[in-house]
Amino acid sequence: MDRKKMYLVILLICVSTIVSGCWDKVEIDERAFITAIGYDKYKGPTPEGAEDIEKETEEKPLNRYVRTSIYPNVSLIAEKGEGEPFFVYSTTSISWADGRAEVALRDNKNYYAYHLKAMIFSEEVAKDETLFREMFDTFQRSVFLNNKLHFFVTPGKAQDILMTDTGKNMDVGLYIEELMDKEVSPTRTAKSDLGSIVIDLNESNAALAPRILKSKDELKVSGSAVLKDNKFIGTLGELETRDALILKGEAQNVDYTIKVDGKFIVIGQTDLESKMKAYEDKDEKIRVRFAIKAEGDIIQHYFDTPNEPYDAKYIEAVNKKSSELISRDLRNLFKKVQKDFGADIFKVGEYLRKFEPDTWEKVKDEWEEIYPKIDVEVDFQMNIRRAGIQG
Amino acid sequence: MSNYEELFKPKEENQDKINLTKSLEENLKKVKRILKGSDDMVYREFNVGENQNLKFATAYAEGLADKVIVNEYVLKNLMVLARMTEPQVSNIREKVYELIKNGVLSVSDLKEVDDINVITDNILAGETVLLIDKWDKAIIISSKGWPMRGISEPQSDVVIRGPREGFTETLRVNTALIRRRIKDPKFKIKQMKIGSRSKTDVAVLFIDGLVNQDILKIVVDRLKSIEIDGILVSGYIEQLIEDNWRSPFPQIQSTERPEKVAANIYEGKIAIIIDNTPFALIAPTTFNSLLQASEDYNERFLMASAIRTLRYISMFISVLLPALYIAMLSYHPGMIPTELALYIAGNRDGVPFPAVIEAFIMEGSLELLREAGIRLPGPIGSTIGIVGGLVLGQAAVEAGIVSSLMVIVVAITAIATYSVPNYSFGSPFRLLRFAYMMGAAFLGLYGVVLVFLISLIHLTNLKSFGIPYLAPFVYNMSIKDLKDTFIRAPLHKMKRRPEYVAKNDKDRLSNHFNRDYLKKGEDSGGEK
């Protein structure tokens, strides 16, 4: 009896593994490692066929997106084959899942998105709150998407960006990833990934996302897109983005060109520490104060200026002047974001909620109105530590 | 107090005793009848005494007994020298045994027996028997001496720095090798015979007062319970007395190195040496001790610790690597860094087999190659190496049958497998590897973890002579006991014997010994 039972158990184990096993087994060379996906707004087949467009019904929405996905030619990466560096599949779709299903009909490889590196929305898609929210909901729900993937907004067509030939024999997704994640990462575009954007939108209803442009045959990340209320509301330029990152304490290696005594001096910042503090003053006005400490080198002065850069007093003057100028720029940037967009990208509200709960209780309901009116004070302290070897 | 003498008491012989009679002829006839058909026996009858009136006979097995001893120290003495000693005629009949034993035979080891069965047993073991007319006893003269292999370097247990001596096929030589390392009167070598026909000598070695009595009792009881016709190699004993015969893991360590045996005896363990086999068995054995090489204790502790850790890692590699390869490639490519994943995908492009089949082909052919290489004579062996290397490596990849990464995986696995110091401990890993690969093939990483759990459950259940196999990781675990596991602590820090075996005398190194003591007087040393 005992022995019989044992055989039965063994049989059950064998059967259950063999019957249920292998159900999601896909060989690695049969997968399409999607590296980038772009979404554009669908605008109908052709202008003249406009009347043929089906009417949107209760059951079935119309095609809304043009979905473009690319994956690299792996044979080329392993130096085994030849051909295009990447494959592009474009389709119209009504949702994320629909787009995936449409491409699956045409692609011989199995869709696999865990190595997805970049997600690009055209501004038109990003401006449409419904589409934006539908997509972000999918991103957040999926366990097969990496939170670290880069989310971009592009003023042009996402499709064009994805089909760019980088000239380096690699596909755009990998190119963008290397570009964004390199050691000396660019400071003139927003540093945020899908995960952090989702968190920012949840916490402060505003976020910065990097922008990507295509000029001629080149890709460029440039400035940032301001997201608020789950849609795209405006852009910040490259230097503005840099200033925003300085306020957030996220831009370490930045060069400033400062005019001191009629001379343009270039200061290279090597270290940065930013502390934000928000509080309610006696007049029940909310104030926010940024205390930023920076260290830097003089990397450009004027040739043959004896003694000046090595004089403690002179350095002190440069410190003072640069601190003043940079503080002013930063304050202006904050005011711009505050007044023009009303977007709380620096998470002042979140700070109040965490550290000044009493104040937050009072203001949280009218935060949208209060935020544009709060006072800002920026105290940027530059400390030049090195002045170079020889003047 | 120790009761080991009690343990080793032989069982009651149920063999019938055949008494010797007073007639030499009759006795000799009986012996000859028992050994009928054994043409390697040599019988010699001769007369001794001034008047040649004392009849003697010797019997021995040719090839087993040392002829020099028989000729020079037995026959010559009796036939020639005996005449020089003047016997007192009156009591010569009564005292003849005393006379011969004390006055004539210049051999150190003599025994007196009165049973013909004992006589034949001794003849077959290489002793010489001396029968005397008109006397109902016989003398057994120790004359074992057969051609044997000299002590040479062990083949399976090689070290760079360490003694070059290895065990031989002769029990006595082997016990001597260990005795030379333990000159303690409390070091006991207890012998017994196992095998109703082979009558193989088996010695149990331990230090009285140090050994764990419970374990000793288990070992001896199990040895005694063996009733078999013949013991040929140490594996017989090992498999007959081990705890779990189903387990792939060896629960008794076998080694060719005397110093390894001695070290284990010093830890309170028990060694079993079997005649005719150059491997000593050590019990109890733990998982950890099978990953210790005797060289670890000869190296400086930093190096030894690093190597120990490496060995543990390599153990995991040898079991898990092909399984992880399958699981990652077939189920979880998201776990591989993107660039590597893309490279692997491209590399495998055009390979006709799924990763599972690929891995089985390659691992299978590796095992084939190993098996083929082991028993081939030297010159042909190298051919197999070259052909196999080409087939496994270059040709298979160039033909596109397997991916080049798989070749790397197989190679690393093979290297890792053979870095386990004990050969018989490496085999279970080779076997388990295939179980892990099956798990990975069916269920991916989940399957690997399942098989890992199953093997862990098995290992925790496993015992070697009452000691948990995973000791010291599972048994009264304390940091102190980890000093000789993943790392090897400096010798002066290892003051105690392993907690899980030694019950009695736990201190190895005096507690007063510390490094400061060595430096005493150093300050004034230079000045004088």
Q: Do B350 and A174 touch (CB under 8 A)?
A: no
Cα–Cα distance measured from residue A87 to residue B87, given in angstroms and rounded to the nearest whole number: 114
Nearest CB partner across the interface for A115, out of B334, B441, B442: B334
Angle at alpha carbon of residue B187, lines to B183 and B192, rounded to 5°: 130
Residue B525 has pLDDT above 90, yes or no: no
B358 CB-near residues (< 8 Å, 6+ apart): B351, B402, B403, B406
Residue B209 has pLDDT above 80, yes or no: yes
In chain B, where are the structural domains located? 16-141, 171-292, 297-461
Residue of chain B whose Cα is closest to the Cα of A19: B442
Is the separation of the CB atoms in A226 and A208 below 8 Å? Answer: yes
What local confidence, expressed as pLDDT, does residue A244 receive? 93
Burial A280-316 (b: 16+ CB within 10 A, else e): beeeeebebebebebbbbbeebeeeeeebbeeeebbe
**Interface probe, candidates B339, B340, B348, chain A, greatest A C-beta count within 10 A:** B348
Question: Tell me, what's the ipTM?
Answer: 0.86
User: Out of A14-18, A365-369, B74-78, which region has the weakest mean confidence (pLDDT)?
Assistant: A14-18
Cα–Cα distance measured from residue A334 to residue A340, given in angstroms and rounded to the nearest whole number: 10
Cis peptide before B472 (omega within 30 of 0): yes
Tally helices (H) and strands (E) across chain A. 13, 14
What local confidence, expressed as pLDDT, does residue B522 receive? 60
Mean of all residue pLDDT scores within chain B: 86
State percent of chain B over pLDDT 90: 36
Cα–Cα distance measured from residue B50 to residue B59, given in angstroms and rounded to the nearest whole number: 23
DSSP secondary structure string, A67-104? Answer: EEEEEE-HHHHTTS--S-SEEEEEEEESSHHHHHHHHH
> Which domains does chain A possess?
28-48+58-236 (no CATH), 249-386 (3.30.300.210)
pLDDT, tens digit (0-9, with 9 covering 90-100), for B341-363: 999 999 888 888 889 999 999 99
Nearest CB partner across the interface for A115, out of B341, B442, B444: B341
Q: Do B330 and A25 touch (CB under 8 A)?
A: yes
DSSP secondary structure string, B98-140? Answer: HHIIIII---S-EEEE-BHHHHHHHHHTT-EEEEETT-S-EEE
Does residue A181 or residue B107 have the better pLDDT? A181
| Mean predicted confidence (pLDDT) in B358-378 | 86
Is the separation of the CB atoms in B166 and B256 below 8 Å? Answer: yes
pLDDT, tens digit (0-9, with 9 covering 90-100), for B19-39: 888 888 888 888 888 888 888
What local confidence, expressed as pLDDT, does residue B162 receive? 87
Range 22-41 of A in CB contact (< 8 A) with B: 22, 24-29, 31, 33, 35
What local confidence, expressed as pLDDT, does residue B416 receive? 92
How many of the other CB atoms lie within 10 Å of CB of B350? 12
Chain A residue numbers with beta carbons less than 8 Å from the beta carbon of B345 are 28-29, 31, 33, 74, 78
Residue owning tokens 């990208």: A345
| Mean predicted confidence (pLDDT) in B249-273 | 93
Closest CA to A113 of A66, A173, A41: A173
Residue pairs spanning A and B at CB distance below 8 A? 89
What local confidence, expressed as pLDDT, does residue A72 receive? 92
Chain A residue numbers with beta carbons less than 8 Å from the beta carbon of B448 are none
How many of the other CB atoms lie within 10 Å of CB of A167? 10
Q: Packing angle between helix B355-374 and helix B423-443, nearest 10 degrees?
A: 160
Cα–Cα distance measured from residue B333 to residue B340, given in angstroms and rounded to the nearest whole number: 10
In sequence order, what are the beta bridge partners of A234?
A226
| Mean predicted confidence (pLDDT) in A202-222 | 91
What local confidence, expressed as pLDDT, does residue B1 receive? 45
Q: Do B345 and A21 touch (CB under 8 A)?
A: no
pLDDT, tens digit (0-9, with 9 covering 90-100), for B447-494: 999 999 999 999 999 999 988 999 888 866 677 778 888 889 888 888
Is the separation of the CB atoms in A21 and B448 below 8 Å? Answer: no
Q: Packing angle between helix B423-443 and helix B301-330, nearest 10 degrees?
A: 30
Whether A100 contacts chain B with CB within 8 A = no
In sequence order, what are the beta bridge partners of A267?
A256, A298
